[in-house]
Structure 1
Amino acid sequence: MTTVWDRPEPPARPAPLDRERIVAAAVALADEGGLDAVSFRKVAARLGAGPMRLYGYIATKEELLDLMVDEVNAEMLPDGEKGDWRAALRGHAHRTRRAALRHEWLADLLGGRPALGPNALAVREAALAPVAAVTDLDTAMRAVETVGAYAIGAIRREVADLRAERATGLSERDWQRAHGPRLRRMLETGRFPALSRAVYDGTDVDAATSFATGLDWVLDAVAARIGRPPA
């Protein structure tokens, strides 16, 4: 089965059109209105072209989404920084989060089948190679998957919170004030002692701090596994 990257683009025509322009327009539409705002008709309209012309470059919407994801993966490539495997995985997770906050629709596509575009493959190589250099390949693969699973889950939760805030018009603090009385009544029943302590005595941190802290804990667990003798 060939991919969109394996097929040559059609010959140039008088009106300039290519995959790069199509993908840029699709990313812009998704940034403005989410994945529901992306269709061949809307992309073609953004480019001033007929929808059928796009099919000469991209066969399906799934291919278009693959190209969009690969385009954003270019923003996740390491910028020549040096460091050990831990720094590589930490950097990968933070770059993924920053890309998803710039392009919230990306959160909906993270965690599916591995992307096969050149940028996505380069990102995966940059994450895997430093870990594979210090442990066996299977352990390295599980380590990258584990850190990735944490990052994807945390990113999706953060993006969901941002969307809820926009949909309701309530900031997190506004939401807490609005629902605080009911929560207080429930906690006063004594049925939720641990939750009550968390609400009244726990430290409230922002999303970036929560992400970084959880990531360090996951990396600590990976480090312990990597340092463990083979069974």
Structure 2
Amino acid sequence: MLVWERPEPPSRPAPASLSRERIVRAAIRLADADGLEAVSLRKVAAALDVGPMRLYGYIASKEELLDLMVDAVHAEIRPTGDHWREVLRSLAESTRHVAHQHEWLADLLGGRPRLGPNALAGGEIVLAALDDVGVDAKMPVVSAVNSYVIGAVRREIAERRAERATGMDEKRWQSAHGPYLERTFATGRFPALETVVRDAVHLDADQTFRIGLDFLLDGIEARFSG
């Protein structure tokens, strides 16, 4: 029986009461502070001031705990809008926002479909908004948006982590590597790249995300209006 259907143990008097929700919230706090490497059943039990064995009545494995954590933050992703394009944009932007609030989520996005109640509820909202899209095209459309978001979010989170690890923000990193690029471009081997680096507007992460999302949504709209 999957954890979504498995009942919790009956409550009993104890110095520290437990529930799946308390366990998951404690795990999320640990992950928000120090990443997924800070999450284990032993560490969560310590944070709750209980013995590790007590957790096994509620959660069978760390994999179940991670599934529950992901579904808990899916409750913060609630697409809205009156048109499928608005809903897909809301899905993309809210997923990105939540991933920035919980960086560890970037490491768990993608893969097999999430079957928790919050993930299913969000999926229902999105698919219901795609009434005008043929049933066979619904999932490819949603997958295209999700894939774009996952790629963008992982790139952005990787940049954040690199900045923390090196102490260099993007501008300092660019300044440090500028002389190398100047020497490389002077060879004449990369004219197209040189033109973009020298002449294109340098967008921040928010602008880059919005423009790329517009490109994707424009393509989807053209496909189904043509």
Separation in 2, partners of 1:124, 1:221 = 21
Structure 2: 5+ residue stretches without partners: none
How far residue 82 of structure 1 moved from its aligned partner, in angstroms, is 3.5
SS in 2 for 1:128: helix
* Other-structure match for 2:108: 109
How far residue 13 of structure 1 moved from its aligned partner, in angstroms, is 2.2
User: Do structure 1's residue 225 and structure 2's residue 185 form an aligned pair?
Assistant: no
* Other-structure match for 1:53: 54
Separation in 2, partners of 1:13, 1:174 = 56
Which amino acid is 1:82 matched to? G
* Other-structure match for 1:136: 134
Separation in 1, partners of 2:155, 2:49 = 37
Cα pair 2:81 2:90 within 8 Å, conserved: no
Kindly provide the CA deviation profile for residues 71-96 of structure 1, in whole angstroms up to 9, marking residues without a partner as x: 00000013xx4320000000000000
Cα pair 1:88 1:130 within 8 Å, conserved: yes
How far residue 140 of structure 1 moved from its aligned partner, in angstroms, is 1.7
User: Do structure 1's residue 120 and structure 2's residue 122 form an aligned pair?
Assistant: no
**CA RMSD between the two structures:** 0.9
Separation in 1, partners of 2:199, 2:26 = 48
Correspondence 1:1-231 to 2 at 5 A: 2-14=1-13, 15-78=16-79, 81-131=80-130, 133-228=131-226
Kindly provide the CA deviation profile for residues 75-123 of structure 1, in whole angstroms up to 9, marking residues without a partner as x: 0013xx4320000000000000000000000000111111111000011
Which amino acid is 1:43 matched to? V
Cα pair 1:77 1:119 within 8 Å, conserved: no
Matched residue count? 224
TM-score by length of 2: 0.97
Separation in 1, partners of 2:2, 2:112 = 14
Deviates more, 1:107-116 or 1:86-95: 107-116
Separation in 2, partners of 1:173, 1:9 = 51
Q: Percent identity?
A: 59
